[in-house]
Structure 1
Amino acid sequence: MIPRRFLVIPVLLCLAGTLFGLDFNSPGTPEELSRALVDEMTDEEALAQTFMLGWVGATPSPLIMDWIRDRNIGGVKIFGWNTDNTLQLAETVGNLQEKALEGRLGIPLFVATDQEGGWIRHVKGATSETPGNMAIGASGYPMDAYYSGYYIGRELALLGINMNFAPTVDLYTNRDSTLIGSRAFGDDPVKAGILGAAFVKGHRDAGVIATAKHYPGHGDTDLDSHGVLPKIDASFDVLWNRELVPYRMLSKEGIPAIMSGHLAFPMTPSGSTPASLSSWFLKDILRDKIGFTGLVITDDLMMNGATMSAGSLSRAAKEALLAGNDIVMLSKTPNMNDVIWRYLAASMETDAVFRECVRDAARRILKAKLEFLRGGTAVAYIPDLDKVRTGIPDPEGSAFFLDLAARSVTLVESPGDDSVFPLLPEDAGSVLLAGQFREFFSAGKAAFPDALSYWYSPSQGTAEMLRYARQADTIIFCLSDEAGLRVLQNLRSLGKRVVVFSVLSPVYLDTVPWIDGAVAVYSYAAESFIAGFSAILGRFPAKGTIPFPLHEPRWTDPHG
């Protein structure tokens, strides 16, 4: 029996709501107040809390403002098409929150984005370009993961963004995956869990809610769930000891949110149902077996991986909530009376199970908002534009990210030959820089001032590049993808010294054993190019290690 004294506070909260107007700033613990607020809500108000919507354009559309003012939706998602002007974005976030706080219960928005670091950086403008997850995996230091999360989080917090869909803890299991690649810490599940936990702690100290993704793991497929539903042939035993390890570790560390992925695992009881719509994955495994107690958020429901399975967007949204998601994310703003809203609102009237699922989700959402969006360490609802001007890019973060880029640089020697490194200008002879990134050429010219530069295009022929290459003693070739690999292969027959400057995933180095050496960096941030050329010149010892075995195409358990 519950002691009577524990029943007093909820009763008082309900009474306060009647007498004094219950709202988000009323006294009470997050657990108590979230229950009281949901009890105060209509079904439609509870349903609105489960919606996270995006919009197209730099400024909010009238439609997204209508959803906030008239429906009091729970969150908005910032995409890359919203973010070129940093100050304008900060003003936009402030306007959105002001409108939300005018609602009957004064509930602020979750303002979310994808700022993973490295390759995925939805908030552009003046924000830092960082070395990214694979660079952290190459350095191997949890400290680097912590400070990456901290400095990325500090910039987001200044912009009023209080939730980030990071860290990515997918494993680099399938080497053909171009979707994951350098977004992964590597292929070791325990290291991914350790580094992911450190990143989450950095976000927490910056006031930002971290969200691990893409549960239960997007790393063992070369398909992209934006266009199709990837089917991954892995048994549950394999998943439990591989892809799910980071989530098991992060759940014990109190990760506040997890994103569910549109991925099917036919060898599990979930069958062909996407994990994002599967109660087996979300309730039986994530909630009951792993013990996760935070929020579950869908990846964009407008991706084909979700809608193709459910048959329609509205059915996908209902299935997602029934399966155990708390928030359904839509990258575009539906019309106010779009079929998705009408279908879900009608379902709450006729389906008692669905109604209970939605109200439970609203309670968890409000509890998380009360825990993270109130108090002295919470992200300010209305950004201070002066602080945005002086704090983005973060001055301390800029110095740290250059250090991280240097710690992660990896030199790959040609097997059996004398080392080509350090490669000094007086030893290199005439140098040709062949690449596709402006920062590659600027850092390369700083290292080799007399070098010729050639911007190659995979869609054009290689005759002109070969003409330049024949005149050079050393060719430093920037390689980042398969198209570039095909261009690189044309240099083999020239008999020149060829050094590859690998950017993003260094997986392609496995296919060019004939080169004289390579340097690997893991993003196309300017700091990574500077660090890479400094390592080529021998200005510091490059101690980074590629965080997956180059000569093993699939994952093997490093712990036996």
Structure 2
Amino acid sequence: MPSRRTVLTATAGVTAGLAVGTGASALGSGGRGTAGTDPGDKRSDDKRLRAIVGRMTVEEKVGQLFVTRVYGHSATDPDQADIDANLKEIGVRTAAELIATYRVGGIIYFTWTHNTRDPRQIAELSNGIQRASLTQPRGLPVLISTDQEHGAVCRIGKPATLFPGAMAMGAGGSPADARTLGRISGAELRAMGVRQDYSPDADVNVNPANPIIGVRSFGAGPDAAGALVAAEVQGYQEAGVAATAKHFPGHGDTAVDSHTGFPVITHSREVWEKLDAVPFRAAIEAGIDSVMTAHIQFPALDGSGDPATLSHPVLTGILRGELGYDGVVVTDSLGMAGVRTKYGDDRVPVLALKAGVDQLLDPPHLDVAWNAVLKAVRDGELTEARLDESVLRILRLKSRLGLLDRPYVDTKDVGRVVGTAQHLAAADRIAERTTTLLVNEGGLLPLARRTHGKVLVVGADPDSPSGTTGPPTGVLAAALSELGFTATALPTGTAPSPATVDQAVAAARSADAVVVGTYNVTAGSGQQRLVERLVATGVPVVAVAVRNPYDVAQLPFVKAYLATYSWTDVELRAAARVIAGEVAPRGSLPVPVQRADDPARVLYPVGHGLTY
């Protein structure tokens, strides 16, 4: 634990120049902050920020580098279970105690830490965090962040507006839609006090077996992905929220999840330049505020065997030197196995800073990491000047976002901004442009209510992200019923047993049509047997890939196949409208689908997509 005495004995008072009135509205600060675009304004603001850094203690500077989790819906009065979790994992009771003890520069919101119950609560939590920080000696606003990628990864659910995920947006192929997504999502996040979003994913997904990126990527085409990354960055940052391109130098060709292992990328430097680097270059050209590192080994870029997060050649040599990026660099979570395999938790944050990182995200043991960095400075391994570089970048970002002058949000704005009818309608329209029809033999789709009025909806029911109101089967059945069908849901899971398959087949025989949701189908799996048995009944079967579009290669006997790229409500409702013929499918594959029996051959190429 750091010394409370060291942190708290400085002269009390809010940092000079900060306006901290509780009535300030985050939405009124004009997007990218108050510094303006005039070079004189920038020089003046930089002078102010350097003065702030000059008055900070070493302990306060160390704190600014950390972005950490904290349990609870309130900064000062969380539930007892969250107090217990905080004491066990962080050694403090509340977010307010966390800030008083460590003076952290950032806090990340998660669903599982109970930070995101509803939009108004989130806004009040954000204000509570800012108040706790600004009442400290030389207190600075906290940069609050989250992973709101949309699609498969969302931390804030309904009633916030949820959009299709990245690969669905890739299927839509519209930079204008991507910019709209960023602008609307950014406005809603900002209204809740979240000023940094760890999105968009700039990885180029060229490996169908990638267990962690997949549909979080815009696709397999670097130029197409780059255009959408840039557009989404522009949208978020126009709304006054820092976008984050991740995971540098590129996580799209891994077969290992860096949460649980240490992936190795075998691309040559030439392949990296033409493939992985392209979306990151586009993000930098678009003015990206922050870049997140990857816990991957990339021998062609650094032969040391270190993860990119800890690599000076990758972060300082390539990202800062060659690509010319001078914004904030944030690590991926320091609790992931990919960054902990080679070094201990006390060495990882120090090595990350030496590599060129600015923000240290969610270390597993904050006390160990905080004290390790402080010790490295006192021992001379890290200079205080090196800390100043990162603290200044972080303060520049906070200033651009308007945090230094207007740190609080007006909770009255939440209902006027978050989940409005206009925003929800925009998400629905965009989703309709992403749904992809891969197979439609004999013109089975659209289903006619007159001949296929009684529909059985079966299939996978994976754990629901925040953008869902229930299992995909239930969402699809409800959406089809609203469109005039008589639809019944029968969830069969991602690994249906023979008895479950028999139950679904028996139910199918009394239906006019079956819609089956698939989720990462493999050869010989229960899902594959389920679909094959359903087709054998002779009842028309429509399959919907609710995550990876690659499923279709394992199901050659299906006569109609749609890809939604995720199982969130907005995508499933759009699929229902396509099935019913309310709208025509307009998406096209942003990744190739290889043959199951010969992966060297392409079954459906990039750009494939049928319509009617």
TM over 0.5: yes
d(CA) in 1 for partners of 2:14, 2:575:
60
Give matches, 1:83-94, under 5 Å.
Answer: 83-94=116-127
d(CA) in 2 for partners of 1:165, 1:24:
29
- The CA deviation at 1:554 is 8.0
Find the counterpart in structure 2 of residue 320 from structure 1.
Answer: 352
Give matches, 1:42-441, under 5 Å.
Answer: 42-60=57-75, 62-81=93-112, 82-310=115-343, 312-330=344-362, 334=366, 338-351=367-380, 353-374=382-403, 380-414=406-440, 417-428=441-452, 431-435=455-459, 436=461, 437=472, 438-441=474-477
Three-state SS of the structure 1 residue aligned to 2:136 is: coil
Give matches, 1:12-51, under 5 Å.
Answer: 23-25=16-18, 29-51=44-66
Amino acid paired to 1:446: E
Find the counterpart in structure 2 of residue 454 from structure 1.
Answer: 490
d(CA) in 2 for partners of 1:536, 1:150:
30
Pick which of 103-112 and 135-144 moved more: 103-112
Task: Return 5+ residue gaps in structure 1 as ranges.
Answer: 1-17
Structure 1 residues 96, 332: closer, same or farther in 2, change over 3 A? farther
- The CA deviation at 1:111 is 0.5
Q: TM-score, normalised by structure 1?
A: 0.88
Residue 220 of structure 2 contacts residue 590 of structure 2 at CA under 8 Å; is this kept in 1? yes
Q: Deviations over 1:319-363 (max 9, x none)?
A: 1111110010116673xxx33222221210112544332221112
- The CA deviation at 1:145 is 0.3
Amino acid paired to 1:433: V
Amino acid paired to 1:398: L
Residue 532 of structure 2 contacts residue 557 of structure 2 at CA under 8 Å; is this kept in 1? no
d(CA) in 2 for partners of 1:486, 1:261:
37
Amino acid paired to 1:383: V
d(CA) in 1 for partners of 2:400, 2:391:
14
Match of 2:515 among 472, 476, 480: 476
Structure 1 residues 332, 80: closer, same or farther in 2, change over 3 A? farther
Three-state SS of the structure 2 residue aligned to 1:226 is: coil
1:466 aligns with 2:505: yes
Amino acid paired to 1:348: V
d(CA) in 2 for partners of 1:47, 1:547:
42
Residue 117 of structure 1 contacts residue 152 of structure 1 at CA under 8 Å; is this kept in 2? no
Q: Deviations over 1:77-126 (max 9, x none)?
A: 11122212332222111010011122333421110000111111112352
- The CA deviation at 1:50 is 0.5
Q: Deviations over 1:348-398 (max 9, x none)?
A: 0112544332221112111222222258xx8x5223222213432133210
Three-state SS of the structure 1 residue aligned to 2:123 is: helix
Find the counterpart in structure 1 of residue 586 from structure 2.
Answer: 543
Three-state SS of the structure 1 residue aligned to 2:129 is: helix
RMSD: 2.7
Find the counterpart in structure 2 of residue 444 from structure 1.
Answer: 480
Q: Deviations over 1:384-428 (max 9, x none)?
A: 2222134321332101000001111211224xx432222212233
- The CA deviation at 1:486 is 5.0
Structure 1 residues 541, 459: closer, same or farther in 2, change over 3 A? closer
Task: Return 5+ residue gaps in structure 2 as ranges.
Answer: 1-10, 20-40, 76-82, 84-92, 462-471, 608-612
Three-state SS of the structure 2 residue aligned to 1:76 is: strand
d(CA) in 1 for partners of 2:439, 2:376:
62
d(CA) in 2 for partners of 1:398, 1:507:
29
Residue 440 of structure 1 contacts residue 478 of structure 1 at CA under 8 Å; is this kept in 2? no
d(CA) in 1 for partners of 2:287, 2:600:
31
d(CA) in 1 for partners of 2:527, 2:449:
25
Pick which of 232-241 and 160-169 moved more: 232-241
- The CA deviation at 1:507 is 1.4
Three-state SS of the structure 2 residue aligned to 1:287 is: helix
Higher helix share: 1
- The CA deviation at 1:155 is 0.9
- The CA deviation at 1:473 is 4.6
Three-state SS of the structure 2 residue aligned to 1:224 is: coil
Q: What number of residue pairs does the alignment pair up? A: 532
Amino acid paired to 1:460: S
Three-state SS of the structure 2 residue aligned to 1:80 is: coil
Residue 264 of structure 1 contacts residue 274 of structure 1 at CA under 8 Å; is this kept in 2? yes
Amino acid paired to 1:142: P
Structure 1 residues 429, 92: closer, same or farther in 2, change over 3 A? closer
Structure 1 residues 485, 215: closer, same or farther in 2, change over 3 A? farther
Q: TM-score, normalised by structure 2?
A: 0.81
d(CA) in 1 for partners of 2:559, 2:293:
43
d(CA) in 2 for partners of 1:144, 1:538:
23
d(CA) in 2 for partners of 1:366, 1:451:
54
